[in-house]
Amino acid sequence: MQLVRCLVVAAAYLVLLAGPVSYASPKLLPFSQERNATLIRFIKWFLALWLVREVNAVLNSWAENRWMWKSDKSSWDWKNEIAVITGGSRGIGAMLAKRLVSHGVKVAVLDVEPLSDDFQDDECRLVSFYRCDISSRDAVHMAAEAIRSDHGSPSILVNNAGIGNANSILEVSPERLRAMFDVNIISHWNTVQEFLPDMIEKRKGHIMTTSSMSAFLGFAGAVDYASTKAGLTAFHEGLTQELKHRYKCPQIKTTIVYPTWTRTRLITAIEKGIQSTRAPIMDTKDVADAMVNQIIAAKSGQLILGPSIAATVRALPIWLQELVRDHMAHVVTVNATTAVASSR
């Protein structure tokens, strides 16, 4: 569709560019010849800018698809696919599991908490729970062996699990800091090292990374969280490059998702601070829908589920960047971890 739209805009621009001078005559529109000429020049510039925008979109899509024009969706049979979701018992992960199940995909949830009561009986038939501390390489291996024994090799991996602190740099304890990095980023090495080899052997798979808009914007009170999410951007980009250039397997899809504030336990302690900035808060269903649509479309790329300006904030002048960060400085004003807050 993008390519078709680009070609249509290009054709319109070339027709107008190569059109006869009579296009600017009073016969075209009920204006004077001078006004008609001005209008035609305006339309030419408008089409030129539109064409640049469409060409950029086509190139972006082409690059995200590993410089391949087509995605081979025929290799995906959703009723025979197995997805692993970390942190899938609640929140975004649980909603993602429910949406994948609606397409017939079998889901294996890796979590330290059991499945929430939100799962219906018919959904539970396609969802399997494996208690697993994803920060432990051995625990991930044991869970993976059980999944392969029960269902076969997964073709979809969603690294979704995450925890959040609400502490300043001086306040956060070494234990909380270590747990944050272990769960939010080190675990991605554990799961990818476990499940990627089978995907490479079959030349098919999709690895999805749940990040956050905080990857683009570090702010007071959540420096550790933002650091892990910024690290996930590097992880996603590096994984994508290695699949193309080290393992010669561009068929494996990679997606990174940047949700804005989402109504989960992670924001319970800081919701008032978020509301003070008038920032929107997404529902988990909207985030999960976008993620599942990407998986079902068999596409790679980035999903920015929030203000698009956040992704380009570092291209702004420094004074503007600092104004944005200053605006966010009082979102996190409690001392908390995940959804457990304590007053100062």
Can you tell me the mean pLDDT for 46-68? Answer: 78
Classify residue 297 as left (phi > 0), alpha (psi -120 to 50) or beta.
alpha
The domain spans of the chain are: 2-64, 79-342
Can you tell me the mean pLDDT for 122-149? Answer: 96
Is the pLDDT reported for residue 98 higher than 50?
Answer: yes
Digit-coded pLDDT (tens) for 59-82: 877 777 776 766 677 889 999 999
Is the pLDDT reported for residue 344 higher than 70?
Answer: no
Question: Which residue among the candidates 98, 106, 204, 229 is catalytic per the annotation?
Answer: 229
Question: Which residue among the candidates 13, 130, 225, 258 is catalytic per the annotation?
Answer: 225
**CA–CA separation, 249 vs 187, rounded Å?**
23
Q: What is the pLDDT of residue 203?
A: 95
Q: Which CATH superfamily is domain 79-342 in?
A: NAD(P)-binding Rossmann-like Domain (3.40.50.720)
Helices first, then strands: H and E counts in the chain: 11, 10
**CA–CA separation, 26 vs 31, rounded Å?**
6
Q: Is 247 a catalytic residue?
A: no
**CA–CA separation, 159 vs 238, rounded Å?**
15
User: What is the value of pTM for the model shown?
Assistant: 0.83
Closest by Cα among 291, 263, 266, 290 to 279: 263
Return the percentage of the chain with pLDDT > 70, whole number.
88
Digit-coded pLDDT (tens) for 202-212: 999 999 999 99
Q: Is 202 a catalytic residue?
A: no
Residue 191 CB: number of other CB atoms within 10 A?
24
Digit-coded pLDDT (tens) for 295-319: 999 999 999 998 877 888 888 899 9
Q: What is the pLDDT of residue 127?
A: 96
Cβ atoms of 259 and 212 within 8 Å: the answer is yes
